Chain A
Amino acid sequence: MSTHFFGLTDRTFEYSHSVGRNEFAGTGFRNPVDFALDSDGVAYVLNRSYENRPDGVRITVCTLDEEYVTEFGTYGEEDGNFIWPSGIALDREERLYVTDEWLNRVSIFTRDGEFLGKWGVGGSGDGELDRPAGIAISADQTVYITDSRNGRVQQFTLDGQYLGQFGRPGQGNGEFDLPWGIALGQDGLVYVADWRNDRVQVFTADGQWQASFGRSGSGVGEFNRPNGVAVDADGDICVTDWLNNRVQILAPDGRFLTQLVGDHVMSQWGKDKLVSNPDMIRQRALAYANNPGYERNFAHPCAVKIDSQGRICVLDHTRGRIQVYNKVKEPALV
């Protein structure tokens, strides 16, 4: 019997495991909005939390094997504080850069959480910021920031010197409506989640428009407020399709390859939380039988990164966790 094969022939996306749980401190995340991965496989998860739980506003440091390392940062306007933290990225020396879209600034930390400095000023002029959201840093140490309410991407040196910009508010090619996530491909191209235009746009490193993928909707290649983007070694483009509760994976030319909707299996931190509470274990068992998709599926995935092993790591905002997928060349049972 022959197999009628439609779609991918050389890649399978296989769920590996999950990291985290909802938590205001320690081993978990609270309203996480972005994360960065260093060369050792350590994750720096940026937790937005909310103002009546300022203790939850922090960066959680852990491995993708769910080993808790530390946490740092808190709510406020002082140095090293955050109000509305939005994006996080590592430079070549593995210092952390964090955008804050209320304070209109970038804060810089060591991987251990030592505050190193800050830059950024509110406004709409060259080098000024109005709700800086996503951040990415290139191999040549250029900082790219989606300057969301100014409808543009701005480029800076690591110490905040203005280098240039591209884009303007609008719906045409090269224009943006509240852009959010930003990623750099190995080919040097810049990928921007053009959030309110429901598409991903691609640019050269100096801002020349190359392509736009997507339109509003919930079908194949359509988006509902995409907010995170990552590009893997094959050039495949992973996009967190926020309000469609999925990750779409596009080929380098923008064709739809597949989607991930979430395959969560209880993480170790999740088990740790439940093990001492038999009532909740029972309650969860009843609920799971009634509605398994609630816990398994993505709930507003908001950032995606590729780790050093080529795994696709999806930050699952409302459930407070990261779901990790292997990308395998050989056929894999999923």
Chain B
Amino acid sequence: MADQDVALMAHLLRRAAFGASRDEIEAKVAQGYDNVVEELLTPQERPGIEDDLLMRYQPAYHEAAAIETNIQAWVYRMINNPRQLQEKMALFWHMIFCAGHSKIDSGQEMGRMIQMFRDHGMGNFRDLLYRLSTSPAMVYYLDNNESHKEALNENYGRELLELFSLGVGKDEEFNYSEDDVKACARAFTGWNIAPPYPPFPYGRSPWDFRFDPADHDDSEKTFLGETGNLNGDDVLDIIARQPATARFLARHLYNYFVADDVQIPAWRLTPPADMAAIDALEQAYFDSGYEISAMLRVLFNSDFFKAEGVRYAKVKNPAEMVVSTLRMVGEHREIQPGLFELSQEPKYMGMDLMNPPTVEGWHTGREWIDSGTLVERINFASDLLGNTELPGVQSLVDRLMARGDTLTPDQFVEGCLDLTGPLTVTDDTLTELRSHALKGGDLSHGSPAERADFARRTGEMFQMIAATAEFQFE
């Protein structure tokens, strides 16, 4: 199996999935890159999580009221959903269509919103905007339930344009005016929520969207140059056909899957780093009739995605850091107790899942890293990778042993980097790792004592690799 094929597949699975074990990477290489891309893009054609089993062994995951339980259930799915790109896209939309538990105060509704992203996050963008606009959690989070025919609240109308579709501007131009914001908000009046049951005594009922025609402003409006008795549906149609929407989506997908970009408020004045890539994604958006999966197909099959220069050039976000490490070491690959504490780890690293800091979401890229979060990231990964009892780590140790009866320190370091990535490190890092390995000399595994020492030193080397700057990237 060619090293470059393994490296490319590992890259695809780091970006379009939450990483994979070495066994899984090699199995996917055997399937072929193009086939794996299609598999990722067509989740409906293959089995997902076995929900009946999940509900049997973790019954509290179902209709869970507590936010912690919803986060735990989502982390379980990120680790184990065979339809990995679904989970990756659920996280993608959660980081853009931000709504947070701190205001919503319903773990169940946050969980339902993530489920909506999971189910429709690779579908049609116009359809997704409709689902977002009728999502009770979003209606409540951005106060559309307080926006009335006679007393307008512009919050949802404004954020829909600024943060959920057009963006403030592109190519140094503004994408919409204050009048467009008002017209948009008026079009969504009457989009509200039916009364749900309270939490006590039998648990909240799911919130349902409800349109109240008597509270809807049906008068004439002008939005982005189009005039009529526009309602929310009309506004979404207009939004979907804007070049700015294609740019917005293309730039977000590039930032999430290819290379870190500047933060969204800077997009009006800062052009994309790779305009040709953005053009290709925009073209796919319009050619397909706003299909997100069509854009992803172009992206994953493109040279700009496969390029060696973009590999290990994106900072892992905390959820990616936690979940990819768990997948690599083979922990929680079946339903078992003990996931609660682990599911809180992204929060300690600066990403409180289901509770973004503002409607603008988290700042990504190198802003994930500060002295505090770096310590959390390193401690988390090194604790797990250094535990040679874990099945994934044990498998890596076995693979390393299979490379020869005796490994020189250089071969040992090279093998460890290959199996935890394949990871390319700077010369300085490599020198440090080799220097440490040299202290122990050659590694053999003929006797039980040698095997134990081999495993111990491998765990130690994995811990050192987890502490490198390079391990913070994907």
Q: Is A bound to B?
A: yes
Determine the distance from Cα of A295 to Cα of B198 in the docked complex, in whole angstroms.
11
Interface size class of A (residues with CB under 8 A): 35 or more
Residue of A nearest to B195 (CB): A286
Q: Which of A274, A283, A317 contacts B195 (CB 8 A)?
A: A283
Evaluate contact between A48 and B60: CB separation under 8 angstroms. Answer: yes
The B180-205 residues at the A interface (CB cut-off 8 A) are 194-203, 205
Contacts A49-B60, A50-B60, A243-B52; is A320 near B202 (CB within 8 Å)?
Answer: yes
Q: Which of B52, B197, B337, B339 contacts A295 (CB 8 A)?
A: B197
| Contact indicator per residue, chain A 182-215, by CB within 8 Å of chain B (1) or not (0) | 0000000000000110000000000000000000
Contacts A21-B200, A22-B202, A225-B52; is A33 near B66 (CB within 8 Å)?
Answer: no
Q: Which of A48, A273, A321 contacts B59 (CB 8 A)?
A: A48
Evaluate contact between B194 and A102: CB separation under 8 angstroms. Answer: no
Specify which chain B residues have a CB less than 8 angstroms from the CB of A178 in the assembled complex: 53, 56
Specify which chain B residues have a CB less than 8 angstroms from the CB of A295 in the assembled complex: 197, 202
Contacts A52-B69, A287-B205; is A318 near B63 (CB within 8 Å)?
Answer: yes
Q: Which of B59, B69, B198 contacts A317 (CB 8 A)?
A: B59
Evaluate contact between B63 and A280: CB separation under 8 angstroms. Answer: no
| Contact indicator per residue, chain A 38-65, by CB within 8 Å of chain B (1) or not (0) | 0000000000111111000000000000
Contacts A243-B52, A284-B197; is A291 near B205 (CB within 8 Å)?
Answer: yes
Contacts A83-B337, A84-B337; is A320 near B59 (CB within 8 Å)?
Answer: no
Specify which chain A residues have a CB less than 8 angstroms from the CB of B58 in the assembled complex: 50
Evaluate contact between B203 and A320: CB separation under 8 angstroms. Answer: yes
Closest CB pairs A-B (n = 4): A21-B201, A50-B60, A286-B195, A270-B201
Residue positions of B touching A, CB distance < 8 A: 52-53, 55-60, 62-64, 66, 68-69, 72, 194-203, 205, 208, 336-340
Besides A53-B66, A84-B337, A294-B205, 16 new A-B residue pairs in contact (Cβ under 8 A), listed by A number: A21-B201, A22-B200, A33-B59, A48-B59, A50-B69, A52-B68, A52-B340, A101-B57, A267-B201, A283-B197, A284-B198, A286-B195, A290-B194, A291-B194, A291-B197, A318-B63
List 28 A-B pairs, Cβ < 8 Å. Answer: A21-B202, A22-B202, A31-B59, A31-B60, A48-B60, A50-B58, A50-B64, A50-B66, A51-B339, A52-B66, A102-B337, A180-B56, A195-B56, A227-B56, A243-B52, A270-B201, A270-B202, A273-B200, A283-B196, A287-B195, A290-B195, A291-B194, A291-B197, A291-B208, A295-B202, A318-B63, A320-B203, A321-B202
